[in-house]
Structure 1
Amino acid sequence: MRRLLGLVLLLATWTANISWTGSATSGTFPNGPVAVWGYLLEGESGYGGADQGYPLRVGAATWTAVAARDDLTCAIQTGDSLYCWGDNADGRVGVSSANNMVPVPTVASGAYASMSVGGKAVCAIVKTAATLSCWGTNTSGQLGLGDTTSRATPTSLGATTWNSVSAGAEFACGVHKADDTLWCWGNNTSGQLGLGSTTTQTSPVQVGAATWSRVTAGADFACGMRKTDSTLWCWGSNANGRLGIGSTTTQTSPVQVGAAAWTTVTAGHESACGIRDGGKLFCWGRNGSGQLGVGDTTDRTAPEQVGSATTWTSVRPGRGHTCALRSTTETWCWGSSASGQLGNGDTATRTTPKEIVGVTGWTGLASGTAHGCGLRTGGILMCWGDNDHGQLGLELKNRTASFNPRTGAGPFTVLTAGGSFVCGLRAGHTLWCWGANNRGQIGAGDVIYRFAATQVAGSWAQVSAGWDHTCGVTTTGAGYCWGRDNNGRGGSGVFQPPTNENIMAPLLIAGGHIWSRMGLSAFNSCGIRTDQSLWCWGSPNNGALGDGVTYASTYTRQTTPVQTVPHAATWSTVSGGDYYHCGLRTDATLWCWGLNDKGQIGSGSAIAANPTPLQIAGSWRDMSTGYDHACAIKTDRTLWCWGENTSGELGRGATSTSGASPGQVGTDTDWDTVTAGRAFTCARKTDSTVWCWGINTEGQLGITASLTVRTSPAQVAGVTASAIFAQNFTQTIYAFL
């Protein structure tokens, strides 16, 4: 999956006029929308990262047609200009450049009436002249130009006029405008050209003498509808029964599929679907992912009806999934959803149709290998699913979308971000999580990634996320943890063996403690009880527990909470990074402990680690721990940072190996809150402006014009925030506007 850059505006309604609480990766927020930018890989934005589990609008333009196959999408914009985006191998986008993540007009595009995206090429019909142009890979002659030379720009096939064209994996077929005859060209190793042979053709060759109203090309087979009686005929490879003729025998010439008349038919990669009998939907061929929609994963060699609905109007099979449109303008999808291509916010495979909820008014559809696109009333184009090559056409810095209906949750009062996942509390004490779930950190009882917010059972008062584990406090003060627990960070008192180290649902923390809040580091957990004492558990390495004990190197886990020293201290907040923690006491003093190889505990010395909290001089109002650096704001509103600085994350105007003692960031005295991420820092001033510095390879500074390191605070243009926080284990920043 691609790492995506830029700013995402999630226009949510956030509740609770509560001031920022000073936690590194979580907080409570006032009303307003939230902006997210930086590294968005596993769905932590609420929409998926590179992959998108819900339909999102492609730009602000309006469109009249869309087509997709494999990792490429093309569409015709209002005004008839043709745009393509996604995988650009051999110039299939129509320009000589790398992959394009946003729609790019084809060179000298002119005006187009229709187009078809093949596995490695694109063909389009010019609007006025009705001539045909093709471009992309041509190793099998699939461009129809009489040779095998690939083209990076649209190239005309001559003066012949065409009604329609359909491009397959390495071949294409089209219907002549003058006489409705069918012509095919390209790879013919499976007889997919319908010529009665398996000889490849680099120029169009006529298929029999019949007239045709429609042709559709799959991976290595094709189907067409005869003009005279709308009967269906298919030819080419018949593996898995994709020709629908009741067998698996390859056919090099068109063979009739039953005796019925069809309204429409579309070939997918290795399956096909069609509509007949007044709106009934039928599918056949490969069904390993349930893409036929018939309730199982068994291949079908003849058309079988999908459900009992009689209102289907169009259908678009992909490689392992299918989407179809009903007359009531809803889109329904089924099959594999490994990349969110079913548009329902999760990755669950479905063997029967499920509606894309919350979005109606669909007028047209297109399906690629693992992504889908659709047109809605008014020419709105939306795409969803796999985005490895930018085939969704989404440029995040310009993307706006509604957070609330797509996540199925919200408004939230608290958010906390882990490695590549997010959890949030609603006003009714319900807890919701989304994003990466490979360790069960979502708390849903499984390891399925979630593109949409998924509720965690229980009534919750507070939550905190680590790298790949989560802990929370219920409304009765009980503490629970879930996710990875290879070193005791779950706190249950039970050692989880390496073969079963994932806790996939909340598990009670041992000891009968009554908790007020949690504060997690990457590989440890800490919590503050209602008596304001501080306790930690998990790996004791590098002094991360703060209990003053130097453990033997062979002791790798602490499965129950131990109290930090001194026991009489009272604490207000705690957070952590990589095997270290910092906390604010109730007397506004700041203390840090644990790993110090980068100077992250601010001791001013070269000690590698310290198991006892060390005080950082001063009176403090806010602090935040990044992965291996930390920052804090004094009560006089000056800002100070310490620890790793190879990317300028300390904001001192230069880079260095580390800063073992706190150093002031500039001379300003109007800082309000600070949040430290992984190799970058952002802070909010009293005028609500947001400033960031450090590494910017993923756009995490909110500055996409230049992805260079910033060693001093740079303002994030156009953003004023009521609160901010970063994912301190990765490179994502959230600002509540």
Structure 2
Amino acid sequence: MQSSTPWWMTRLLGVWLGVLLVVGCGQSGGVSEELEVQDSSLLNSWARARVAAGTHHSLVVRLDGTVWAAGNNSDGQLGDGTTISRHVPVRVQGLRGIAAVAAGSNHSLALRHDGTVWAWGGNSSGQLGDGTSDSHSEPVRVRGLRGVVAVSAGESHSLALRHDGTVWAWGGNSSGQLGDGTSDSHSEPVRVQGLSGVVAVAAGDYHSLALRSDGSVWAWGDNSLDQLGGAPGEQSYFVPWRLEDLSGVVAVAAGGDHSLAVRSDGTVWAWGDNFAGQLGDGNILTTRWLPQQVQGLSGVVAVSAGWAHSMVALSDGTVWAWGNNTSGQLGNGISVGYGALPGQVQGLRGVVAVAAGGLYSLALRLDGTLWAWGSNEYGQRGDGSTTHLSSSVRVRGLSGVVAVAAGSAHSLALRADGTVWAWGANYYGQLGDGTQMDRDTPVRVPELSGVVAVAAGDGHSLALRADGTVWTWGYNYDGQLGHGSTNASPVPLHVRELSGVVAVAAGSAHSLAVLSDGSVWTWGYNRQGQLGDGSVSNSSVPVRVQGLSAVVAVSAGLNHSVARLSDGSVWAWGGNSFGQLGDGTTSNALAPVRVLGLSGVESISIGFNHSVARLSDGGVWAWGANYSGQLGDGTTSNSSVPVRVRGLSAVTAVSAGLNHSLVVSTDGSAWAWGINTFGQLGDGTTSTRFAPVQVLELSGVETVAAGALHTLAVGADGSLRSWGNNPHGQLGHGHPGRSPTPIRSLLY
């Protein structure tokens, strides 16, 4: 019962709604630590979309794009294939690349980066949108929806916002909460009537809200407790109604029977049911049919509405709550009564997102930790207990490594707490620890927190923070750090020319970034045109790639670059002597050209002179250089158009190294092919393979990263394993010598 807005929606729906938070650096640790949001801008929508609270279950998206759930599971709403309730988070099966989640009464929604929506749990009213009324304990795809940028879940209905500003709804409709002009339930999405230019949606128990780009709020559904805000009478409204007395709104949230809105001045306004003081106006029991300002609050950057309580996060990182407190959900140290005015939640700072559930509350901190308090009879807090608490505790089971990157001879790991760790070669300062000493065990990159992605080049490194800023360090002879000079740096420095970044990639000596508007910016070495700006001149500051928009992912190799667009097409530019651009030629391209014969691509990765793509059907295709079998088609013939990798299906992740490639299958196994001189394929030999072979002694793999001559893998438990060459300690296990089979790293 919260609104949910993915971090990329500014690309599609206007920059006015998406100024990302600028947050202070801090270490992971206890709640006494000072982590403050330093900008009173609007919501950090990227963070807010990562956590959701239902009536009795919770969802969180880890930085690796997987979804974890805890609490009641009687209808399969945890998505783990069972109906067993869980007191600590379990992984939702079969989901990757998730950007946002929403939790209803007994069902769950997830929005993938490709714009598709997935649902699981109870489905008696068709709220899963799969065309049936059958419950599902594993995710199913919502029918007929693409290009979705936000989702929200109510008692028995669901909402989706598409990139074109239209709103779609499905599920129960007894009160008109689907907004299609009828009271008929729908098990597939139908369009909400009369709405366009929408930038956010929120689903309450039996009513719905939409925020348009002009700052107006529209509502429909049940109005028996005035939750539609000024709509006359107590009857239901089957099409949207505009709230005439509310303007300049930048965010909305819908609770059980009350509604909240944040205005551009950082104030909060509330209307609807008030039996527990959830409107925050100092009164109890008095229902409000016109929005009134919540007393004593300003600088609000996140908002959520539960069944009968309300929460906000302020720009200083504190959390405030009001309304029902019978289970301690206000976090004020007691578990009785009501709070008719906002009160500060005890012991929490550095919070960037909040989620109010039935009788409990969640808060996501900048350091990546999740905290919970309130009711817990189903284990919905995820802290391993079933006791109520009136003060916050940390949610268990969400630690460990979530992403890795491998350079020529150094490695990077991103932990769930948003910290970055590095090991291996450091002669250019690419480990970012302020020295030029090689490390054979992981060291933390100082002064970096809130990181959501990392990338490693030949001798330089990149980190993307949740606030949309990019930080770089290491070798800089060709300007690949993007600081406007060619001076190397052994510590992270801010690429000041960029903001609103959502993805990064590092090539041998150049770097790429995708912005929230779908544009791509590049910097560094450009003698083969790998910057894509139409020239062959190096650049020490970001330049825009020509002719590309709606980009969602990028990858970089020795001298070429690749981008995946939201429509599933792939475009490439730069050096092409081996056909690595996939356009059927071997001619360099100074601006993007389309890779031939590919559609429905879901992930891309490029190596030294070859490229790899995973399609929506789980198949893998490759093109470019093949002298070491790196295309995996059983030959050593180069190909300037994509060829299918032999024997692979149901693949979930791909990674291309110098002259070898890897994939992860849905069963958690890893497969590799290409050159194997240093054991980088992990099959126990040093024999080159022209078709995929299974990596030995690995199971439960989530993701892989192929470096020049070594490989990394992250398990579902957050563990890290490595194999291949190791002269600089790039395997990270503290022992000398290469390994042809995976060895567990010291980092967890």
Q: TM above 0.5, one fold? A: no
With structure 2 as the length reference, what TM-score do the two structures score?
0.44
Which of the pair has more CA radius of gyration? 1
User: Which structure has greater strand proportion?
Assistant: 1
**Higher RCO by CA contacts (8 Å cutoff, separation 6 or greater):** 1
Normalised by the length of structure 1, the TM-score is: 0.45
